């Protein structure tokens, strides 16, 4: 009576109404539902089955419940024989082994897999769920499938109100609207975004992904978090098999391998790179994010795109009132105004500045990001700060493998190795160098910066330099 849901069981209908349409039912009071519900003591979750409540507590509040022991857990768990993964459903365990340990299990044959798999007709992708296969085809082979019509797509899709973006999961659509159309959303009262947000306990940081919150706390408030002994942060780390790069995002690792080790990976075929890439129609730029492609086109090919209109730009841009600078983030615009037009803005007050500034305790340097302030202190006041210990430095440093040089930027480390240890590096090859070099056309000199090449030509080949001018 409230939606198109249908079932052959009266009890199932009552449970559905209780879970999905409780408020509507309470207002209209159409039928009496004598349904016992089990409520979670840690959150607002309710269910009609005690077993489901136990599963919920086990999956969502296990650590808290182990300490407080408010709910007695009497459910069978299924443990993975290859890792520490646990689940309350045998089907999920089999899916986990199939997805994570397929090759190892085929060799050792510890677990007999009795699950049905669904194969993609366009690539070698397989899934243990038909729904997941359809999602894969919709996301990866949508245009091809619309032409050939090999697979009937029956999954629900969610469309954006502000652009042509579609998603197969509602939470992904909500994240898209929150990230891309946040400003537009503030003025649109008709659209309600029921997006769960995760707030930091120590500052005003807010995100729509729990993993992002955990990464934020781990990087910004690690010591404070450990002192207060709150819930442990379990961050999975993904390591690159070709270099010492590591990340907490699997997708970021795949992108890193694609950008830095593409040729090596194609020859050795260690990692399957099956993520979608977006290519620029005006140059050879590629990215794994549609938003980044739009930012690139807006920054590098804006005039050309306005003439040819090849790419529809749906991102909001912020323009400086004092110069032609544009950005897709309000924070960056404010940072630009502070750095480039502070005195002018103090007089004219055209841009309202409400961002937090970070000031150096050793000089009058200011930054709009704490990370930049820490880099400044590390580069300019390192010895003084080590002696006085006024500022805690939590930035990643890149040490040289041939000497005691260290820097906060990887490209500077590579420039240092290329400039100072080139011959030694050719012999030992300890670090993979991915830097652009500039070669002199008159001799065998090479540099890592164009200005250094120009300076070399001016000093060593002045007659050619004057001719070029």
pLDDT tens across 142-176, in order?
888 888 888 888 888 888 877 778 888 877 887 77
Sign of torsion, CA 89 94 98 101? positive
Residue ranges in 287-357 assigned as alpha helix (H): 290-300, 302-308, 330-348
Under a CB-based contact definition with an 8 Å cutoff, are residues 101 and 107 in contact?
A: no
Look at strands 326-327 and 318-319 and give their pairing. Answer: antiparallel
Rg (CA), the chain: 28
Tell me, what's the pLDDT at 231? 62
Tell me, what's the pLDDT at 185? 62
Q: Give the contacts of 1 (CB within 8 A, at least 6 positions apart).
A: 30
Structure tokens at 205: 């940081």
Residue 123 has φ and ψ, to the nearest 5°, of -150, -175
| Beta partners for residue 326, in sequence order | 319
Tell me, what's the pLDDT at 362? 93
Under a CB-based contact definition with an 8 Å cutoff, are residues 191 and 161 in contact?
A: yes
Q: CA-CA distance, 241 to 321, in Å (whole number)?
A: 47
Q: Give the contacts of 317 (CB within 8 A, at least 6 positions apart).
A: 298, 326, 327, 328
Enter the pTM of the model: 0.42
Q: CA-CA distance, 304 to 311, in Å (whole number)?
A: 10
Under a CB-based contact definition with an 8 Å cutoff, are residues 260 and 242 in contact?
A: yes
Structure tokens at 428: 């030992």
Distances in Å between the Cα of 299 and the Cα atoms of 171, 186, 280 are 29, 25, 12
Tell me, what's the pLDDT at 77? 84
Residue ranges in 317-429 assigned as alpha helix (H): 330-348, 370-380, 382-388, 410-420, 422-428
Tell me, what's the pLDDT at 393? 82
Q: CA-CA distance, 167 to 169, in Å (whole number)?
A: 5
Low-confidence ranges of the chain (pLDDT < 70): 26-27, 29-35, 182-196, 229-234, 272-276, 465-469
Q: What are the boundaries of each domain within the chain?
A: 356-395
3-state secondary structure of 440: coil
Tell me, what's the pLDDT at 363? 93
């Amino acid at each position: 009576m409230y939606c198109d849901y249908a079932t052959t069981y009266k009890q199932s209908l009552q449970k559905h109404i209780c879970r999905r349409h409780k408020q509507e039912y309470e207002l209209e009071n159409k039928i009496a539902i004598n349904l016992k519900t089990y409520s979670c003591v840690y959150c607002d979750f309710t269910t009609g089955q005690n077993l489901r409540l136990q599963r919920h507590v086990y999956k969502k509040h296990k650590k808290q419940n182990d300490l407080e022991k408010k709910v007695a857990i009497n459910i069978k768990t299924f443990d993975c024989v290859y890792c520490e993964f646990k689940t309350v459903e045998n089907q999920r365990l089999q899916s986990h082994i199939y997805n994570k340990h397929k090759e190892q299990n085929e060799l050792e044959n510890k677990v007999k897999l009795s699950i049905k798999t669904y194969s993609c007709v366009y690539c070698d992708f397989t899934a243990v769920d038909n729904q997941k296969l359809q999602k894969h085809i919709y996301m990866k082979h949508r245009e091809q499938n619309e032409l050939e019509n090999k697979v009937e797509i029956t999954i629900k899709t969610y469309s954006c109100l502000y652009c042509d973006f579609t998603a197969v999961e509602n939470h992904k659509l909500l994240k898209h609207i929150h990230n891309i159309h946040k400003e537009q959303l503030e003025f649109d009262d008709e659209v309600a975004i029921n997006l769960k947000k995760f707030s930091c306990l120590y500052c005003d940081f807010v995100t729509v992904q729990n993993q992002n919150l955990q990464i934020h706390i781990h990087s910004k408030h690690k010591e404070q978090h450990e002192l207060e002994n709150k819930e442990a942060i379990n961050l999975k780390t993904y390591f690159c098999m070709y270099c010492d790069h590591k990340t907490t995002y699997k997708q970021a690792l795949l992108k890193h391998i694609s950008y830095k080790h593409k040729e090596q990976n194609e020859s050795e075929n260690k990692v399957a790179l099956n993520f979608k890439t977006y290519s620029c129609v005006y140059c050879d730029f590629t990215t794994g994010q549609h938003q980044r492609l739009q930012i690139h086109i807006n920054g590098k090919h804006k005039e050309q795109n306005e003439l040819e209109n090849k790419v529809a730009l749906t991102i909001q841009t912020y323009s400086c009132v004092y110069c032609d600078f544009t950005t897709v983030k309000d924070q960056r615009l404010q940072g630009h105004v502070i750095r480039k037009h502070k005195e002018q803005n103090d007089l004219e007050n055209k841009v309202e500045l409400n961002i937090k500034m970070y000031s150096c305790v050793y000089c009058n340097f200011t930054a709009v990001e704490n990370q930049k302030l820490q880099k400044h202190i590390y580069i300019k006041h390192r010895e003084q700060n080590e002696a006085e210990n006024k500022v805690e430095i939590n930035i990643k440093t890149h040490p040289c493998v041939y000497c005691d040089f260290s820097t906060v930027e990887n490209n500077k480390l590579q420039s240092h190795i290329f400039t100072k240890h080139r011959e030694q590096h050719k012999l030992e090859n300890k670090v993979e160098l991915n830097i652009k070099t500039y070669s002199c056309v008159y001799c065998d000199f090479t540099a890592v910066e164009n200005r250094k090449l120009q300076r070399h030509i001016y000093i060593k080949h002045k007659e050619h330099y004057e001719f070029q001018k």
